[in-house]
Amino acid sequence: MYKITSQAHFDAAHFLFGYNGKCRNIHGHRWVVSADIAAKNLKDDPQERGMVTDFGSFKKLLKAEADRLDHSLIYEKDSLKPETLAALKAEDFALNEVDFRPTAENFAKYFFDKLKNAGFPVIRVKVYETPENCAVYEVD
């Protein structure tokens, strides 16, 4: 099995709605996303001969999604009061609403799905919240 890996990172704030602990407060991380794609055989078409896939297109998608989330407040849908959300928007803050609790585990699945839906043979995504702590989503 041939495997290639690319990484992207973004700095963003989040909070865990409904959580009873310090992470219920808005705080930030330097999120690092590491994605692995794999193939049993290397491609033999003229453009990508000898490759699992073109690193350029793989890392472009990963970086674009990380850049979209960079320097924003990522929040779970319906976790902010309407007046709080309106005040943040009035201040022109960068906001990213997601349909899941913004945990490292859920971000690993989120990036996995983004790559898979783009046609990449992704097998594993790791998302680091800190240099010591990461969550992994991978195929069985």
Tell me how many degrees the CA angle 68-80-93 measures, rounded to the nearest 5.
Answer: 40
Q: How many CB atoms lie within 10 A of CB 104?
A: 20
Nearest to 13 by CA among 32, 37, 30: 30
Active site members: 23, 71, 129
Q: Is 122 exposed, middle or buried (0-12, 13-18, 19+ CB in 10 A)?
A: buried
